Amino acid sequence: MIFSSYSFILIFLPITFLGYRLFNAFKLYDVAKLWLVFASLYFYAQGSASFVWIFIADVLFNLTVGAQLIQAQKANAVWNKRILLAVGLAANILFLGYYKYYNFAIENINFFTGQTFALLQIALPLGISFFTFQFIAYLVDCYRGKALETSIIDFLLFVTFFPQLIVGPIVHQTDVVPQFNDKKQPLFNKTNMMLGMVLFSIGCAKKILLADPLTGYAVGYFNDTASGDTLTAWLSSFSYTLSYYFDLSGYADMAIGLGLFFNIKLPSNFNSPYKARNFREYWQRWHMTLSRFLSDYIFRSVYRKGKGSFNFYFAVMVTFLVSGFWHGAGWQFVLWGILNGVFVCMSHFMYRNNLKLPFIIAWVITFAGVVGTRILFVSDSMKESLQVFRTMFSAKDFANMDMSLVLNHVATFAAYHLYVIALLIVAMLISFFGRSTTQLMNEYKPKYWHAAAAAVLFGISLSQMTSVSNFLYFQF
Amino acid sequence: MRFRKWLYSFIGGLAVAALLLSGFNFVADPFGVFGDRFLKWHSYNMVNNPRVAKIGYLDQYHDRYNSYIIGGSKSSSISPELLNQYYGDGASFYSMLMYGGDFYDYEQTLRYIVDEYKPKNIVLHMSLQELGHYNEDSEVDFKQSLHAKVNGEPLLPFYLKYLTLNPSYGYTKLEGLAKHAVDSFEYSQFIPESGVYNKVKRDAEKVDDLEQYMIDNAKNFAPFGRIEATALDKNVASLKRMKEYAEQHNVSFRLITGATSTQELKSYDMEKLKEYWMKIAEVTDFWDFSGYTSVSGDPRYFYDTMHYRNSLGAMMLGYVFNDPDVYVPAGFGHLTTRDNAAAYADQIFTPPAAANAESVRMPIVVYHHIDDDPYEPNSLIVTVDKFKSDMQAIKEQGFNTLFLSDLIDYVDGKKELPDNPLVITFDDGYYSNYEHAYPVLKELGLKATISAIGWSVGLTEHRIPGKNFYPHFTWEQAKEMYDSGFIDIQNHTFDMHEQNTEQPDSRIGVLQIQEEANGAYAGAVLEDAGKMAELIEQNVGNEINTFTYPFGYYSHLSEQFFRDAGYRVTLSTKSGINQIVKGDPGSLFALKRINADPHVSSEELVKKLMAP
């Protein structure tokens, strides 16, 4: 079940919301929280039904280890603490490793040793990369004594809360648990409701009106890169770059909006990343909760202050290698991580040496880097991404064409892809010049026209949630 | 800030969204439900869903029509213009063709048309595939559903459904306008004014060379899968209701059953079809073009497994209305009635004996004139020595030479062929064949077939005085050769071996002249060939089974004429080796031949004949 679907919007959400309000109205606060936990597990089961029991076991395991860690921390039992953390981390990493990287490892072993170990039919459980990171952060926080001691219900709600369960934002226990126990939390908060409705509508529109059609177009090319022409490669690559942002940030907006319906403020995830003029800034604006996690738990475990610039750049590279690997099991993701690391190091180098490019040049180079790394990211393999780059910069389609023929060719292409091109232009204008929802949220003052405008976006999005059938005529 | 007022604003916004959406869907009108009053792009709407869009169109324009063809996608090959001519009396037909149509669709459409448009004539076209479905659930889909006016559903929810349609349909239509501006064929698959498919592209295809046609269209002729006769009785009952309804309202009613390809026929249970035919004939007489007919086995009459060509549709109407200008293949078309249905169904729903998997590789070599000192040497003239050397090489290679009648006997299962078979042919009937070839062949014990041109037999001068001319053998010489048992004489036209490029409207070989009616074309070709056949039979006395195309030019139609006239073999000049299939008479048509080029050594020629 995704947020932008009729079953979620018209059935799941109203029932969950009304149930939550009802229990709170009768002051059954813990029941209300449990209601949310059950609703969240139901939500999870809609996506990964076969995995829901393993997920629950995973939650309980981390709950136990975390509780033991907090006890050990209190008792100052250093070795107990270390062993517990080691066990907890190892379990989480192995768990993720099995589901996400087992087949990748086997493929590589087979490739390098010439063996033919069979691959397993492993379906990747929904959201496993996200909640595993939340568990790791939680255990490390427990170890570091930063975690809060919580009730079991609060812990369960923290990990299962459906708005953030599947694709983030990656939430720290300390972000939300204090909110669960706020005195005002069970009360109906109209400002939160209003902002929630605005954010959910905007998120819905971002995903349904912009991201989905753009992705739909781009996927067609990336499924068969060998047969696409140069213009298709360009349009698809840009479409994918923009649709990725609108898809993820739209989803994050919906998640944050949904959180607000339950008076939970989830952390922001995107802050106009395509306005960035270098990669350091880009990663401060893109998938911010992931960046925060990587910075807190990877970068800081490698980087030691005052140990010189090499140590710094090394830590950056390690962080992005992990990031690449986390994003997907495949060498193109590793390369993607390395490239991002190099770009970030370069911008740090320039920053440290006070080197500055004119704004527009810096921005163009950065955006080109974003598109290039996105191509790598969405390709099935390194080979395929090379194919895309080759096609993009090949002059083959324009061979033996004079200027008027080239223009004619481009105009024909534009006429045949008018819808995608129009969407792409709108998406680019919004992402280059529009205000981010993070800004909007931080300085939000409700106005009635916001409700009306949000409703228009929401209403049109609703109309585009039905599937569209293809033409059936015979090819005469 | 009051939350209640906020909520009202939100609801107000939703109402605005609904208005915007409805307005957009009304203006873009991608299915033509609202008559497409703004864009007036009816062909687009019909491509989207002909069932709905045609009603949207006809509700505005039905006063232009007074007669309707109702049927599935096959019925598109029944031309409304031709029907107008044949029906006369101011008839103006509109084709209601709907892809994947079934009898439920037909009946609902017929009732709506009779009630609302008050027509004079209805032609119901049955495709055969309706046998497998009747009012299926899939028809709630936007692309296949009927108009609510037609199937009697409440109108308000129907219009609301199209007002709140996913606007992506409209976006695609707007984008389609840009595509259409670049390529006017985009979304023009329907011709809104007549309701039929626009087949200009497929009809421009070259269909004459069967082998090439099947290479180009292999995927169009994929098997269709099994169709069970689940709707047999429902269809018959529906047919009965339609006929009665039309007649009650004084509307003429005619049932035509469409042509079917052999490939499509494999989808059905033949016994069920026979039962179907009996039951249909109880309801009405009908013009019957289905089943295994003289055209069903030839893919060139079809666009794909399911759809017969417009050209065949014209033949069907020519048959129905007995039009002398229209050539109709023998064995195609029948008026099926209660009295003859059983026998006829038995005939058309009995598959011809399956072609055997067994086949023979059959090289054929062709010579023309033999001359040591021609007026103008060319690739069709060999010297006497070269001819001798060729024949010796062929003999040494161990070829067993055959007459074409041997091939026919093999296909008919009457005779096996020897290993290493070869057919030697000569075209035109030159005296040199008698003078030089005949003695060599006789000496080496090789058989050959000479295709002679009628008018020039026995002449030593061209009928146009002064024109270069090689003498031709006489009937007596022909008879002498034939009687030797080594030579067969066959048909190379009486007088159609001409091509006058300076006169564009003259006939080239046996091809059709531009604008010539099929009926006249068939008459001319068969009259000429018949004359020659008669001459050979009179003068030589042998049986004519082969027609050799002048210049090797043939057409799909000419193939059919000769088949109709009883010819078993036709010879082309396309270079290559043939595969003759036991049980498949079609494998004897448009046979390829390898020219014995004077510049190709005898050794190489033998190699060519041996090549796989």
SS3 assignment for B542-610? CCCCEEECHHHCCCHHHHHHHHHCCCCEEECCCCCCEEEECCCHHHHCCECCEECCCCCCHHHHHHHHH
The Cα-based distances of A146 to A74, A175, A338, B65 in angstroms read 11, 12, 31, 83
Residue B31 pLDDT exceeds 90: yes
Taking 80 as the threshold, does the pLDDT of residue B501 lie above it? no
- Strands, DSSP E only, in B484-534? 487-491
Mutate which of A197, A456, A470, A475 to disrupt the B interface (most B C-beta within 10 Å)? A456
Is A197 at the interface with chain B, CB within 8 A?
yes
Q: Say which range, A254-268, A411-425, B344-358, has the weakest mean pLDDT.
A: B344-358
The single-letter DSSP state of residue A468 is -
Q: CB distance from A226 to chain B under 8 Å?
A: no
* Record: contact B12-A452, CB cut-off 8 A: yes
Give phi and psi for B369, each to the nearest 5.
-95, 150
A451–B7: do the CB atoms touch at under 8 Å?
Answer: yes
Q: Given this model, what pLDDT does residue B398 score?
A: 94
Partners of B181 on chain A (C-beta within 8 Å) are: 415
Amino acid occupying residue A180: F
Q: What is the pLDDT of residue A81?
A: 85
Interacting residues of A154 by C-beta distance below 8 A, sequence separation 6+: A33, A177, A180, A181
In A, which residues are within 8 Å of B202 by CB distance? 476
Helix/strand/coil for B121: strand
pLDDT more than 90, % of chain A: 55
Predicted confidence (pLDDT) at residue A269 exceeds the cutoff of 70: yes
Searching chain A, which residue's CA lies closest to the CA of residue B76? A476
Q: In angstroms, what separates the C-alpha of A466 from chain B's closest C-alpha?
A: 6
Distance between terminal CA atoms of chain B?
A: 89
Answer yes or no: do A452 and B167 touch at CB < 8 A: no
Output DSSP code: residue B506: S
Q: What is the ipTM of this complex?
A: 0.89
pLDDT band at A109 (very low <50, low <70, confident <90, very high): confident
A466 touches chain B (CB under 8 A): yes
Tokens encoding B98: 């709907």
**Mean of pLDDT values over B225-249:** 96
Residue in chain A nearest B46 by alpha carbon:
A473
For A435, list phi and psi in degrees, rounded to 5.
-80, 145
Q: Burial, A443: exposed, middle or buried (Cβ in 10 Å; 0-12, 13-18, 19+)?
A: exposed
pLDDT reported for residue B348:
96
Q: What residues contact residue B215 under an 8 Å CB cut-off, 6+ apart?
A: none
Asked if A460 reaches chain B (Cβ–Cβ under 8 Å), the answer is yes
User: What is the chain A residue with the closest CA to B188?
Assistant: A476
Per-residue pLDDT, B355 = 67
pLDDT confidence band for A438 (50 / 70 / 90):
confident
When CB atoms are compared, the residue of B9, B141, B303 closest to A451 is B9
Contact A472 B143 (CB under 8 A): yes
Those residues whose C-beta lies under 8 Å from the C-beta of residue A276, and which sit 6 or more positions away, are: A282, A284, A285, A286, A363, A366
- Name the residue facing A448 among B6, B168, B197 (closest C-beta): B6
Residue A476, pLDDT above cutoff 60:
no
- Helix axis angle, A309-327 to A331-352, nearest 10°: 150
Place B552 in a pLDDT band, splitting at 50, 70 and 90.
very high
Could you read off the pLDDT of B375-410 as tens digits, one per residue?
Answer: 888 999 999 999 999 999 999 999 999 999 999 999
B-chain residue closest to A212, CA distance: B168
d(CA B55, CA B58): 5
- pTM beyond cutoff 0.90: no
Q: B46 CB contacts (<8 Å, ≥6 apart)?
A: B32, B53, B54, B57, B189, B190, B192, B195
- Chain A, nearest residue to B140 by Cα: A469
Tracing tokens 């585009």 back to the chain, one arrives at: A464
pLDDT in the model for residue B137: 66
Nearest Cα of chain B lies from the Cα of A232 at a distance, in angstroms, of 16
| Residue A316 C-alpha from the chain's centroid | 20
> If you average pLDDT over residues A342-365, what whole number do you get?
90
List A287, A327, A417, A450, catalytic entry = A327
Per the CB < 8 A criterion, the answer to whether B235 and B105 are in contact is no
State the number of CA atoms in the 13 A half-sphere of B312 facing the CB. 29
Please check the confidence at residue A334 and state whether its pLDDT lies above 80.
yes
Given a cut of 60, whether residue A474 has pLDDT beyond it is: no
Once rounded to an integer, what is the mean pLDDT over residues B286-307?
Answer: 95
B559 pLDDT higher than 80: yes
pLDDT in tens, A233-264: 999 999 999 999 999 999 999 999 999 999 99
Residues A285-295 have a mean pLDDT of 91
Cα dihedral B26, B30, B36, B40 sign: positive
Tokens at residue A151, please?
């009730």
Alpha carbon distance A108, A58 (integer Å): 28
B252 bridge partner residues: B121
- CA distance linking residue A251 with residue A257, whole number of Å: 10
What pLDDT is stored for residue A473 in this prediction? 57
Whole-number pLDDT of residue A72:
87
pLDDT of residue A341: 93
CA B38 to chain A, closest CA, distance in angstroms equals 20
Residue A145's pLDDT is 85
Interface test with B, best of A10, A193, A474 (most B CBs within 10 A): A474
Per-residue b or e along A14-50, where b marks 16 or more CB atoms closer than 10 Å to that residue's CB: eebbebbbebbeeeeeebbbebbbebbbebbbbebee
Report the gap between the CA of A402 and the closest CA in chain B (Å). 19
Percent of chain B with pLDDT over 90: 84
In this structure, chain B runs to a length of 612
Mean local confidence (pLDDT), B513-519:
88
357-416 of A, contacting B, C-beta below 8 A:
411-412, 414-416
- How many CA atoms does the CB half-sphere of A144 hold within 13 Å? 12
Residue A69: count other Cβ atoms within 10 Å of its Cβ. 26
Nearest CA-CA partner of A127 in A17, A62, A51, A203: A51
Kindly tell me if the per-residue pLDDT of A208 is higher than 60.
yes
Residues 6+ apart with CB under 8 A from B390: B382, B596, B602, B605
Q: Alpha-carbon distance A25 to A9, whole Å? A: 23
Q: Please name the residue of chain B whose CA is at the shortest distance from the CA of residue A462.
A: B166
Mean pLDDT, rounded, for B357-378: 92
Compute the mean pLDDT over every residue in chain B, rounded to the nearest whole number.
93
* Region of residue A183 (phi > 0: left; psi between -120 and 50: alpha; otherwise: beta): alpha
Query: Which among B16, B164, B178 has CB closest to A456?
Result: B16
- What pLDDT, on a 0 to 100 scale, did the predictor assign at position A285? 93
Range B17-46 average pLDDT = 95
CA A397, CA A234: separation in Å to the nearest integer?
13
B-chain residues near A193 (CB < 8 A): 3
Which residues does B234 contact at the CB level (< 8 Å), separation at least 6? Answer: B103, B134
- Say yes or no: A115 contacts chain B, CB-CB below 8 A: no
pLDDT beyond 90 at A343: yes
In this structure, the dihedral spanned by the alpha carbons of residues B30, B33, B35 and B36, taken in order and rounded to 10 degrees, is -10
Nearest to B583 by CA among B355, B379, B416: B355
Least confident segment among B221-225, B326-330, B426-430: B221-225
Write out pLDDT tens, residues A131-140.
998 999 999 9
Task: Note the pLDDT tens digit of each residue in B409-423.
Answer: 999 989 999 999 999
Confidence (pLDDT) at A414? 95
pLDDT above 90 for B362: yes
Average pLDDT, integer, range A436-455: 88
**Distance, CA of A6 to CA of A25 (rounded, Å):** 27
Domain coordinates in residue numbering, chain A: 6-187, 192-277+357-475
Nearest CA-CA distance, residue B280 and chain A, Å: 28
Asked if A464 is an interface residue toward chain B (Cβ–Cβ < 8 A), one would say yes
Beta bridge partners of B308: B302
Task: Please report which confidence band the pLDDT of residue B505 belongs to, taking 50, 70 and 90 as the band edges.
Answer: confident
Interface contact B166-A464, CB threshold 8 A: yes
- Mean pLDDT, chain A, integer: 90
Question: In the prediction, which pLDDT does A321 show?
Answer: 92
Confidence band, pLDDT 50/70/90 cuts, at residue B135: confident
CB A312 within 8 A of CB A299: no
pLDDT average, residue stretch B169-181: 95
Active site residue A327: yes
Which tokens is A90 given? 């190892």
pLDDT tens per residue across span A70-81: 888 888 888 888
Min Cα separation A422/chain B (Å): 10
Q: Do A472 and B99 touch (CB under 8 A)?
A: yes
Contact residues on chain B for A448, CB-CB shorter than 8 A: 1, 5-6, 9
**Percent of chain B with pLDDT strictly greater than 70:** 99
**How far does the CA of residue A210 sit from the closest CA of chain B (Å)?**
12
Q: What was the pLDDT predicted at A124? A: 76
Looking at residue A148, its amino acid is L
Residue B140 has pLDDT above 70, yes or no: no
Q: pLDDT at residue B536 above 80?
A: yes
Token pair recorded at residue B147: 């108009």
Q: Give the minimum alpha-carbon distance from B295 to chain A in angstroms, rounded to a whole number.
A: 21
Q: Which residues contact B457 (CB under 8 A, 6 or more apart)?
A: B429, B472, B473, B474, B475, B478, B535
Residue B477 has pLDDT above 90, yes or no: yes
d(CA B28, CA B472): 73
In whole angstroms, give the CA distance from residue B53 to residue B60: 11
Best residue of B8, B11, B14 to probe chain A, by most A CBs closer than 10 Å: B14
Nearest to A469 among B142, B171, B190 (CB): B142
Among the partner residues B6, B167, B179, nearest to A415 by beta-carbon distance: B179
Residue B364 has pLDDT above 80, yes or no: yes
Contacts of A350 (CB under 8 A, 6+ apart): A278, A356, A357
Tokens 């990343």 identify what position? A273
Interface probe with A: pick from B2, B10, B221, most Cβ of A within 10 Å = B10
Q: What is the pLDDT of residue A71?
A: 86
Cα torsion angle, B335, B340, B345, B350, sign: negative
Q: Collect all residues with Cβ–Cβ distance below 8 Å to B537 and sequence separation of at least 6.
A: B543, B544
